[in-house]
Amino acid sequence: MSEVELTRGEQRAAWRRQVVEEVLWPEQRICDAHHHLWHHEQERYLAAEFLADITDGHNVRQTIYAECIEGYRTDGPEELRPLGETEFVLAQDETLARALGRPVITGIVGHADLCLGSRVRAVLEAQVALSAGRFRGVRHATAHDPSPAIVAHQAGPPAGLMADADFIDGVRTLGAMGLTYDAWLYHPQIPELIALARAVPETVIVLDHLGAPVGIGPYAGQREAILAYCREQLAELAGLPNVRLKLGGIGMTLYGNGWHRREQPPGSVEIAADWGDHIRWCIDTFGPERAMFESNFPPDGRSVSYRTLWNAFKRIAEPYSQAERDRLFHDSAIEIYSVPRAAP
């Protein structure tokens, strides 16, 4: 197959293979706290591709799947159609389990329309029953920015969704059922999440991807100011005991690194140098028990390989004790999502 005939996903994979590093700390147990699986027209990232990544040297014992509107049912009641994604994930994990002799995706953060308010309980009960308890929370994206240069989440959330009374009731229902809410938003929306977290103190809220410090469009060329703003807002969030933080998303083109435009991808030393100070600030502010590393693959695969990304996280975590590293790489995700711990 010529280069012209390669899919976008295959081209990215070939580009990533230009940099191959020795795996650091190969015994360090990892629960990948956030990844997707999908079959887009130009990018396939299903069990086979994910298996190749998680068996590429790092000790990935289990993972948490995050919704990406994949495999929805095409008929039946609209509110139940997201159950198709849970069915899709369970089928993909069967493939992984056959290859590795154990389940891999031990937690699912799926979708339910939280704008149903308290009526979302019936959908959540169906999700939990379908997954035999692996369904551990909901991500209902609110990522919205007025700039046309910033691509909205594919669900097209409106502005101000986190202040909607029905949405708040839906998030409150999650907490009443022992489920989490994953927040995917852009950094100017963090104050809205602060208000939501205060309104639903019994619901554990997990902020994805460092709070998404956007670095393109109207935010290009303002990295230090934006990170300073994020720290101010994240410090306020950290003061709320029901909030947790995912450490990742740094390979997304949205963040303005520009790595995807280079002839070769960055190595872990460069990535750690670029993001280490900010991520360590986040760890120190939230504490290792409330923070967890995530691959966010395949989106972060547009800039870096799976192996290199986890090497970068390990370099960033080098100053911490082994007990703190165990939390950041594995234990915090297990505890926050209340999933069974994989066998050694």
Mean of per-residue pLDDT scores for the chain: 96
pLDDT at 156: 83
Of the two residues 155 and 65, the one the predictor is more confident about is 65
Percent of the chain with pLDDT strictly greater than 90: 94
Return the CATH architecture of domain 30-336.
Alpha-Beta Barrel (3.20)
pLDDT at 153: 65
248, 211 Cβ separation under 8 angstroms: no
Mean pLDDT of 251-269: 97
Tell me the HSE value of 321 on the side-chain side, using a 13 A CA sphere.
Answer: 6
Query: 117 is written with which tokens?
Result: 């308010």
pLDDT at 3: 46
Burial class (CB in 10 A: 0-12, 13-18, 19+), 73: middle
Mean pLDDT of 259-276: 97
Query: 253 is written with which tokens?
Result: 């083109």
Q: Which residue has the tokens 């935010």?
A: 219
pLDDT at 53: 98
110, 73 Cβ separation under 8 angstroms: no
What is d(CA 157, CA 153) in angstroms, rounded to the nearest whole number? 7
What is d(CA 270, CA 5) in angstroms, rounded to the nearest whole number? 32
Using DSSP, state whether 186 is helix, strand or coil. coil
The model's confidence at residue 155, banded by pLDDT at 50, 70 and 90, is confident
Task: With a cut of 60, say whether residue 2 has pLDDT above it.
Answer: no
Task: With a cut of 90, say whether residue 98 has pLDDT above it.
Answer: yes
pLDDT at 1: 39
The phi and psi torsions of 36 (rounded to 5 degrees) equal -125, 170
The model's confidence at residue 343, banded by pLDDT at 50, 70 and 90, is confident
Q: Which residue has the tokens 């280490």?
A: 276
Cα–Cα nearest to 259, from 206, 303, 318: 303
Q: What is the pLDDT of residues 3-43, one digit of tens each?
A: 446 788 899 999 999 999 999 999 999 999 999 999 988 89
Q: What is the pLDDT of residues 184-206, one digit of tens each?
A: 999 999 999 999 999 999 999 99
CA dihedral 298, 299, 301, 306 (to 10 degrees): -60
Task: With a cut of 70, say whether residue 152 has pLDDT above it.
Answer: no
